[in-house]
Structure 1
Amino acid sequence: MHCILPSPCGPLRIEASPQAITGILFLDEDVPVLPPTSPLLAEACRQLNAYFTGQLTRFTLSLAPAGTAFQQQVWQALLTIPWGEQRSYGEVASAIGNPRAVRAVGAANGRNPIPILIPCHRVIGANGSLTGYAGGLERKRWLLAHEAKC
């Protein structure tokens, strides 16, 4: 099941199983709003809207991203990055106990199926540069600026 939520970053397709959010996709074209068809999707929309208005800094949704054991480990580490803060790929690699896995962390970050809720936008280059973002660098820049000002 899924719904389409308008957002400042463009329309978001939110996907869910009956128990958990499984994906968020940034859509590059305008599509009609598709209202939530379950209480879980309705709550996801409510929390995302509160995030976008600066009223929510921590999500409390059940998440079920599909990925390898390594990817799951990286995504769990991303969930520990506080609102408004950033970490480098190297810092995330160290946090999972594998400081030499910087490129693998970058690849796992890029495959995050639940952006925003799993805050892969908070991972930046070692020199502070905005490097790669599956949703596009403009969205990453917007999300970081939004969190910095709220």
Structure 2
Amino acid sequence: MSSPLGKLQLVASERGLAAVLWPQEDGSRVRLGPFLPDRGSAVLAETERQLDSYFKGTLRRFSLPLDFHGTPFQQRVWQALLGIPWGETRSYGQLARELGCPAASRAVGAANGRNPISIIAPCHRVLGADGKLTGFAGGLAAKQYLLRMERGETPEAIAAA
């Protein structure tokens, strides 16, 4: 699908949305199970509709069936991402403490980097301990765009910065 950040590849399984991949990705960052063909998938059509609304600023919480593929720890991290509200951020350390693993901020960071369902499971809302932007599969410019958009800045204002 087209987005303000380039073409996103949406991948669904029989159980739900399995991945949102960035334009530059080759698919090696995330593990994918069997997936459905792009045409005719109700999940993919609904994902595209909700992402369009998100990018317009009219949708703040996604409502989609998700099919995460990862280790139990990764899945716990990805579920925690779903709890970060629109326009808010957390640090890797904060997420580790929320998960009851205060010494696991690096492991949380590694799991965050393997998040297969970018934007919807908002890994872009996770920052370094110092509040600075850190790695992001879509690139730091995309991460900054998403955070600024969620703060209410217009696409024109973001592009001008």
Whether these two folds match at TM > 0.5 is yes
- Deviations along 1:21-60, one digit per CA (max 9) or x if unpaired, are 000101139xxxxx75221111110000000000100000
Instruction: Find the residue that maps to 1:149 and give its secondary structure.
Output: coil
Q: Is the 8 A contact 1:21 1:64 kept in 2?
A: yes
Q: Is the 8 A contact 1:10 1:28 kept in 2?
A: no
CA distance in 2, matches of 1:47, 1:112: 19
Aligned to 1:122: 125
1:27 aligns with 2:23: yes
- Deviations along 1:36-90, one digit per CA (max 9) or x if unpaired, are 5221111110000000000100000000110000000101111100000000000
Aligned to 1:58: 61
Aligned to 1:95: 98
Paired residues, what number?
A: 141
CA distance in 1, matches of 2:68, 2:9: 15
Unaligned runs of 5+ in 2: 26-37, 154-161
User: TM-score w.r.t. structure 2 length?
Assistant: 0.84
Structure 2 counterparts to residues 76-115 of structure 1, below 5 A:
76-115=79-118
Question: Given residue 92 of structure 2, which amino acid in structure 1 is its aligned partner?
Answer: Y
CA distance in 2, matches of 1:101, 1:115: 21
CA distance in 1, matches of 2:119, 2:15: 19
RMSD: 1.3
Aligned to 1:9: 5
Aligned to 2:158: none
User: TM-score w.r.t. structure 1 length?
Assistant: 0.90
Question: Given residue 9 of structure 1, which amino acid in structure 2 is its aligned partner?
Answer: L
Point out the structure with the larger strand share: 1
Q: Is the 8 A contact 1:23 1:113 kept in 2?
A: yes
Large movers: runs of 4+ above 3 Å: none
Q: 2:50 aligns with which of 47, 59, 65?
A: 47
Give the superposition deviation at 1:17. Answer: 1.0
CA distance in 2, matches of 1:94, 1:124: 15
CA distance in 1, matches of 2:106, 2:92: 8
CA distance in 2, matches of 1:56, 1:96: 27
Identity of aligned residues (%): 56
CA distance in 2, matches of 1:25, 1:36: 17
